[in-house]
């Protein structure tokens, strides 16, 4: 899997038809009259607090995928106080963490052993009698909590809750990976973690994929076949063997032909899958149905070079078994499969890839982790000697040995992340790999030390199914991705300054709606200062990433293949800065009533094409019109505010600055400044501070009784301080004086409303003489 992009071919056309893909109209939301309240929601901020409950979900729209059961417990509310286990032994308080586990904030002592012991206590004492309505709770203290090793969170039905996500007053988890946690094997050029070179006994580091993190929600079981290897492995290799009972097919069952077929165990739309053995497959448990790649499957993606093909499983999904038929040797799933399932890689009539016949499998999840939630905390990864400011729009790896994630979900289900804040994780702040029914909601994710070669620094949904990503703000990350067969997910109301990236692996049926995607010119592969390149190898290219990326061509095959069918974009506010860092932003896929189904002809999968020729790369083809039979079905519109929800009751958050440095406890509260005109005032606040600069935000308030159609802010910075980047606005500078004008979507302010812009500054001087006017 690799990012495949090129520089812009040219400006958008000045006028396009109503059904064309790229509209240059102003980004005003289209809503029906009875949803007029939504018109007051300003763009450019995440929609936090959305009502995601099953009662607020739309009846599935005819002809579209059914997203009504996405998320935690098929759409249930996230747990509240009534779902916490009343047994005091299963509620570990900050005081108990201090006295029983020696976890004491702000003492500079490593708290890893104590935290792991508390999790292990819950796993051994509470999890067996717990449930999704009887959850254990570990409450972390306010202050700095130091972690040096990955925490294995394999206790089912557990909430890990902080004292708040403000690093100045809440729980601040600081990850300082020790020598046995940092990767000790890098690629030959030193640019990336070498998972295949990290070996021990029968194992290799690739078994750890997607890599280590501060929290890893995954089984730590070790299969008996690896027991001796595990015992002999050094400390920095032992986790290779943990959880392998699932990953490496020790429990997976081969498939058998369905009645009337010779080549397939199931076809698209079937809920029954035929297997060679029922061992380990029981009703009520989860199973992963994996379809082997075949030459014919690659050919359908316009891939004909066998050198680019691999024996893998692009098509897969986690299901729940609802029934087992012992006489027919079949299992019934809780929903239909979304792809054909050949028995092997050759049973569909294909030649063997690389001379090897590869099996499709039904793999039971022997020890899935269920019901784990993270709430109300702040986490960061310490990197002494590195500057967080240098990571802004730096798509390289600043410390390849430190490519640690924030939270990893692997072989996990019915779990959640709510109200956390991350700053400068080693790689992905939140990442999945084999997970289902998650809710990732109302989080703020800012920055990563590694965003380059090997594919780092994503807000990453890989092999994730039927999950909801809502109300999140992401800043200074590489991509917001769905990849590797991700399906049935909903991304709604998020605010990101990186692209929505359909990264390949036959991801399908994902809904991406009501998001604000503001992609600056600086967001491109060539912005890189060390260890640069793409996921899967290769150096940086001349990409200029657009708000959408769709996988195709050589860069998207071998590992992952192309994007799959029916990924739906609806009513997003997407803009791209064209040509330079000071250029205006241009609307992208701006029709808010039109349903754009990528990879779809209207009735079947269709590769995107230009003039009938399938594109070999999304790069240089980002602005083509794929409607009217070229791979994007845009024939349908919808007058509702959402394809997923009945009512949009969430309120936009006042997003913090996208600077990459950790907020300083000494940051000042906003204070009103003199207004340039009656009814309009503005306030400045530092949102983060580092040794050589800071992040700032200016909020413009309309205290009048009429809508302000446009505004301008002015201020001075002292000598030695200057703005290095700005978002949601552009500026003109004369000496030390700055005149700021908003981007089009941030220009108008309703009575009683507000808008904002943010910037990063080099130097520590703050604005003086701040005024705002119409």
pLDDT, residue 704, reads: 80
Estimate the share of the chain in helix, then strand, then coil, as percent rounded to the nearest 5. Answer: 10, 35, 55
pLDDT, tens digit (0-9, with 9 covering 90-100), for 76-131: 999 999 999 999 999 999 999 999 999 999 999 999 999 999 999 999 999 999 99
pLDDT, residue 558, reads: 67
Whether pLDDT at 16 is above 60 = no
pLDDT, residue 13, reads: 29
Note if the pTM is more than 0.85: no
pLDDT, residue 696, reads: 84
Whether pLDDT at 331 is above 70 = yes
Whether pLDDT at 620 is above 90 = no
pLDDT, residue 653, reads: 52
* 15-42: average pLDDT: 27
- Nearest CA among 219, 187, 190 for reference residue 205: 187
Q: What are phi and psi of 394, to 5 degrees?
A: -120, 105
- Which range has highest mean pLDDT (211-220, 685-694, 708-717)? 211-220
Whether pLDDT at 199 is above 80 = yes
At 173, the pLDDT band (50, 70, 90 cuts) reads very high
Q: Cα separation of 206 and 483, whole Å? A: 18
pLDDT, residue 184, reads: 93
Q: Report the share of the chain in percent with pLDDT over 90.
A: 68
Whether pLDDT at 749 is above 50 = yes
DSSP tag of 487: B
First to last CA, the chain: 48
Place of tokens 């499998």: 361
Q: Cα separation of 447 and 442, whole Å? A: 17
- 758 or 277, which is more confident? 277
SS3 391: helix
pLDDT, residue 494, reads: 95
* 491-498: average pLDDT: 95
Rounded to the nearest 10 degrees, the angle between the axes of helix 112-121 and helix 94-101 is 110
The Cα-based distances of 214 to 13, 151, 424 in angstroms read: 47, 6, 12
pLDDT, residue 651, reads: 55
pLDDT, tens digit (0-9, with 9 covering 90-100), for 137-167: 999 999 999 999 999 999 999 999 999 999 9
pLDDT, residue 246, reads: 67
Kindly report which listed range (496-505, 525-534, 551-560, 763-772) carries the lowest average pLDDT score.
551-560
Counting beta carbons within 10 angstroms of the beta carbon of residue 59, is it exposed (0 to 12), middle (13 to 18) or buried (19 or more)?
exposed
Q: What are phi and psi of 6, to 5 degrees?
A: -140, 175
Residues in the chain: 774
Whether pLDDT at 1 is above 70 = no
Query: Which run of H or E residues covers position 682?
Result: strand 680-690
pLDDT, tens digit (0-9, with 9 covering 90-100), for 212-239: 999 999 999 999 899 999 999 999 999 9
pLDDT, residue 247, reads: 59
Q: Cα separation of 68 and 59, whole Å? A: 7
Estimate to the nearest angstrom the gap between the alpha carbon of 519 and the chain centroid: 16
pLDDT, residue 3, reads: 37
């Amino acid at each position: 899997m690799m990012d495949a992009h090129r520089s812009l071919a040219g400006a958008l056309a000045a006028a396009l038809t109503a059904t064309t893909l790229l509209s240059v109209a102003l980004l005003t939301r289209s809503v029906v009259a009875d949803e007029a309240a939504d018109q007051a929601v300003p763009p450019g901020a995440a929609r936090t607090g959305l009502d995601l409950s099953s009662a607020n979900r739309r009846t599935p729209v005819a002809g579209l995928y059914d997203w009504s059961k996405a998320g935690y417990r098929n759409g249930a509310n996230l747990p509240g106080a009534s779902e916490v286990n009343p047994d005091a032994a299963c509620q570990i308080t900050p005081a108990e963490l201090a006295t029983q586990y020696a976890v004491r904030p702000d003492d500079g002592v490593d708290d890893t052993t104590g935290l792991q012991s508390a999790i292990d206590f819950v796993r051994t004492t509470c999890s067996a009698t717990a449930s999704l309505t009887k959850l254990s709770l570990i409450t972390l203290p306010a202050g700095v909590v130091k972690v040096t090793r990955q925490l294995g969170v394999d206790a089912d039905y557990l909430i890990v809750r902080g004292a708040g996500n403000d690093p100045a007053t809440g729980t601040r988890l600081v990850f300082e990976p020790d020598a046995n946690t940092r990767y000790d094997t890098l690629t030959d050029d030193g640019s990336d973690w070498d998972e295949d070179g990290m070996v021990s006994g029968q194992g290799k580091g690739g078994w750890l994929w997607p890599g280590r993190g501060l929290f890893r929600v995954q089984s730590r079981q070790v299969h008996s076949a690896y027991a001796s290897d595990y015992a002999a492995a050094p400390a920095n290799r032992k986790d290779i063997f943990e959880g392998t009972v699932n990953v490496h097919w020790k429990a997976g069952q081969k498939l058998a032909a369905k009645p009337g077929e010779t080549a397939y165990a199931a076809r698209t739309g079937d809920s029954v899958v035929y297997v060679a053995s029922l061992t380990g497959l029981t009703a009520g448990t989860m199973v992963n149905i994996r379809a082997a790649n075949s030459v014919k499957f690659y050919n359908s993606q316009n891939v004909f070079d066998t050198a680019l093909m691999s024996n893998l499983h692009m098509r897969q999904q986690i299901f729940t078994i609802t029934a087992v038929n012992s006489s027919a040797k079949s299992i019934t799933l809780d929903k239909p499969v979304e792809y054909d399932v050949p028995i092997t890689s050759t049973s569909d009539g294909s030649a063997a890839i690389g001379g090897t016949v590869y099996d499709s499998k039904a793999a039971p999840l022997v020890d899935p982790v269920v019901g784990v939630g993270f709430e109300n905390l702040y986490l960061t990864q310490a990197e002494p000697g590195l500057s967080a400011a240098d990571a802004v729009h730096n798509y390289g790896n600043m410390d390849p040995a430190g490519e640690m994630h924030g939270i990893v979900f692997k072989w996990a289900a019915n779990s959640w992340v709510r109200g956390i804040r991350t700053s400068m994780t080693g790689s992905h702040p939140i990442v999945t790999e084999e997970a289902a029914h998650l809710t990732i909601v109302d989080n703020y994710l800012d920055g990563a030390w590694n965003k380059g070669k090997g594919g780092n620094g994503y807000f990453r949904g890989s092999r994730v199914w039927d999950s909801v990503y809502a109300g999140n703000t992401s800043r200074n990350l590489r991509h917001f991705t769905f990849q590797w067969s991700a399906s049935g997910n909903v991304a709604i109301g998020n605010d990101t300054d990186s692209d929505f990236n359909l990264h390949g692996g036959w991801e399908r049926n994902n809904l991406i709606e009501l998001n604000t995607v503001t992609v600056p010119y600086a967001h491109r592969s060539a912005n890189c200062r060390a260890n640069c390149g793409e996921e899967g190898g290769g150096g940086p290219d001349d990409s200029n990433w657009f708000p959408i990326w769709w996988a195709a061509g050589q860069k998207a095959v071998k590992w992952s293949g192309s994007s799959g069918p029916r990924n739906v974009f609806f009513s997003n506010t997407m803009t791209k800065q064209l040509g330079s860092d000071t250029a205006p932003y241009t609307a992208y896929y701006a029709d808010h009533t039109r349903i754009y189904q990528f990879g779809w002809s209207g009735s079947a999968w269709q590769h995107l094409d230009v003039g009938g020729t399938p594109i070999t790369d999304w790069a240089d083809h980002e602005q083509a019109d794929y409607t009217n039979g070229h791979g994007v079905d845009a024939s349908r519109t919808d007058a509702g505010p959402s394809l997923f929800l009945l009512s949009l009751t969430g309120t936009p958050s006042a997003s913090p600055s996208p600077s990459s440095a950790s907020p300083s406890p000494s940051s000042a509260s906003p204070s009103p400044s003199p207004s340039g005109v009656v009814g309009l005032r503005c306030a400045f606040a530092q949102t983060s501070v580092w040794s050589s600069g800071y992040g700032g935000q200016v909020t413009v308030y309309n205290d009048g009784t009429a809508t302000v159609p446009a505004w301008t802010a002015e201020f001075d910075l002292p000598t030695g301080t200057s703005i290095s980047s700005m978002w949601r606005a552009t500026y003109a500078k004369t000496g030390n004086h700055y005149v700021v004008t908003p981007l089009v979507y941030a220009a108008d302010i309703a009575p009683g409303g507000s808008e904002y812009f943010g910037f990063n500054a080099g130097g520590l001087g703050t604005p003086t003489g701040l005024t705002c006017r119409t």
